[in-house]
Amino acid sequence: MTAETPAPSPEQPPAPAPLPYAAMLPHFTPAEHLARGRAARQETPRRGHAAWESWPDRPDPIDVLVEQGSHRTPELLPIRYGRMVASPFAFFRGGAAIMASDLATTPRSGLKAQCCGDAHMVNFGVFSAPDRSLVFDINDFDETLPGPWEWDVKRLAASFEVAMRDRGMNATARRAAVLETARSYREAMLEFAQRNTLDVWYARLDAVALLENLQAMGDRKDAKRVAKGLEKAQSKNSLRALEKLTVTVDGEPRIISSPPLIVPAAELLQGDEFERFTDVIHSFLSSYAASLPDDIRHLLGEFEFKQIARKVVGVGSVGMRSWIVLTLGRDMSDPLFLQLKQAEASVMERYVGRSRYRNHGRRVVEGQRLMQAASDITLGWYKVCAFDNQMRDFYVRQLWDGKASVDVAVMPASMFGPYAQACGWTLARAHARSGDRIAISGYLGRGTVFDEAIADFAATYADQNERDYEKLVEAVKSGRIAAQTGV
């Protein structure tokens, strides 16, 4: 476990020079922006987005996963594969790198925006905004990078098709939800194209508005379940984490040991290694604080470091180095849990170019701030050198801050359509903040040509996902891939 132990970097790399405003977006008139989008249709017809066909030299999906795993904690990889082999949708969630490679072969409009890079339906959810109201937004940015906005739309649409197949829903219901995703995105982009710029940046979907929309569109009984879920999310904070993730020992909270998912650092390291590790954490806190505004740095200075543990999270993220840190403020009733998560190059990078940020933790944080309407105030980044002399980038956020995502396995059938609408609107809002919203709207148009193309793509790509999933199943059966299920 020594190789997993981070040591402080001697210095942070210099921040890149800021881009001049004029370099971010061309300053055209609204009519010129609109013409730019309509002209893009001539180069890339909207109907062309329906196309998906594998090609002879397509990378083997298992090779893609194995290559990703070569940079991760080896003993955790069986958990990742065990989670992915659970179903085609679980495989889809963990296969962002596979789909990025595939999307790189599909038509592009030539219009760009800050992309999520992994915009599947479970990577949307509710969390607490800085004003403590619950908002609905994208909540995972590990793969964020500027790129073709349509890649996010296609991954989101395909996720509904794959998830609803897993639930045994018929083709008519699946297509309706996918069409709703694309329609909502297209109509929201038209709405944002007509708004003033500041109005776009202030736009957000709060939980109350989301609940009202679900009640209007879905089954009232199902809407009540959603309301209860929102109430539960609001109580999911550091106090709740203290209750669930710690025990009291000699009057002090201690993070529980639940290997392999939660393992305190004292169990991973021994003797002098643990003492050195503790020193490193204090150095990390100083390094991380340097990435924060002065007021938040002052706030975090009120909290005292108590303990750190490794925590396995997600599906696609399993094997990435991820830690949780317990800090306390005035007393034991005043906790703050932070999550430290490794950041590597986005799966989009080899197809759209490198990030302008040298630190991938910063890439994640800056992308999140750009796409979200309201972001966690503790977002920051740092770089460390492990004792194996490998430099690694990390980003930091609160562990639990009112966060909740949908559970596709139990999501009521009547909720898929309204949920697709919420996701489509949210993704459009995120893209409208960084991309040329008027041009994108002009490209999409007011008709359903793009919507139908995306629905066709989602159905065809879901077939591909099933074939790739079966390859993982066979790889596990043959022993090529070791999978630990039920964890």
What is the model's pLDDT at position 231? 67
Give residue 201's pLDDT band: very low, low, confident or very high (50, 70, 90). very high
What is the model's pLDDT at position 389? 58
Helices (H), 246-391: 265-268, 272-289, 294-300, 349-352, 360-371
Report residue 64 as tokens: 């893609």
Query: Tell me: the pLDDT tens digits for 288-339?
Result: 988 999 999 999 999 999 999 999 988 989 988 899 999 999 998 899 999 9
Task: Report DSSP letters for 402-459, one per residue.
Answer: S-EE--TTT--GGGHHHHHHHHHHHHHHHHHHHS-HHHHHHHH-SSSHHHHHHHHHHH
* pLDDT, mean over the chain: 89
What is the model's pLDDT at position 14? 47
Q: Is 50 exceeded by the pLDDT of residue 260? A: yes
Percentage of the chain modeled with pLDDT above 70: 90
Higher pLDDT, 126 or 160: 160
Percentage of the chain modeled with pLDDT above 90: 69
Q: Is 50 exceeded by the pLDDT of residue 1? A: no
Give residue 133's pLDDT band: very low, low, confident or very high (50, 70, 90). confident
Q: Cα–Cα distance between 360 and 383 in angstroms, integer?
A: 9
- Which residue in 16, 21, 102, 23 sits closest to 57, CA to CA? 102
| CA of residue 437 relative to chain centroid, distance | 22
Burial of residue 305 (number of CB atoms within 10 Å: 0-12, 13-18, 19+): middle
Query: Tell me: the pLDDT tens digits for 453-487?
Result: 999 999 999 999 999 999 999 999 999 999 999 88
Query: Tell me: the pLDDT tens digits for 361-399?
Result: 999 999 999 999 999 999 999 987 655 557 889 999 999
Mean pLDDT of the region 192-202: 96
**Region of poorest pLDDT, from 289-303, 401-415, 428-442:** 401-415
Report the Cα–Cα distance between both ends of the chain, in Å, rounded. 21
Q: Cα–Cα distance between 395 and 144 in angstroms, integer?
A: 13
* Max avg pLDDT among 8-17, 42-51, 281-290, 409-418: 42-51
Q: Which residues of 393-413 are buried (b: 16+ CB within 10 A; e: fewer)?
A: bbbbbbbbbbbbbbebeebee
What is the model's pLDDT at position 217? 65
Q: Cα–Cα distance between 346 and 417 in angstroms, integer?
A: 30
What is the model's pLDDT at position 206? 87
Query: Tell me: the pLDDT tens digits for 33-72?
Result: 999 999 999 999 999 999 999 999 999 999 999 999 998 9
What is the model's pLDDT at position 388? 55
Q: Is 60 exceeded by the pLDDT of residue 354? A: yes
Q: Is 80 exceeded by the pLDDT of residue 282? A: no
Query: Tell me: the pLDDT tens digits for 71-125?
Result: 899 999 999 999 999 999 999 999 999 999 999 999 999 999 999 999 999 999 8
What is the model's pLDDT at position 132? 85
Mean pLDDT of the region 167-182: 97
What is the model's pLDDT at position 218? 60
Mean pLDDT of the region 270-277: 78
Global pTM reads 0.91
Q: Cα–Cα distance between 223 and 216 in angstroms, integer?
A: 9
Q: Is 50 exceeded by the pLDDT of residue 3? A: no
> From the CB of residue 253, how many other CB atoms can be counted at a distance below 10 Å?
18
What is the model's pLDDT at position 391? 80
Contact assessment for residue 236 and residue 140, using Cβ atoms and an 8 Å cutoff = no
Task: Report DSSP letters for 346-387, one per residue.
Answer: -TTHHHH---S-SSHHHHHHHHHHHH-SS--TT-EEEEEEET
Partners of 136 in the beta sheet? 126, 205
What is the model's pLDDT at position 253? 93
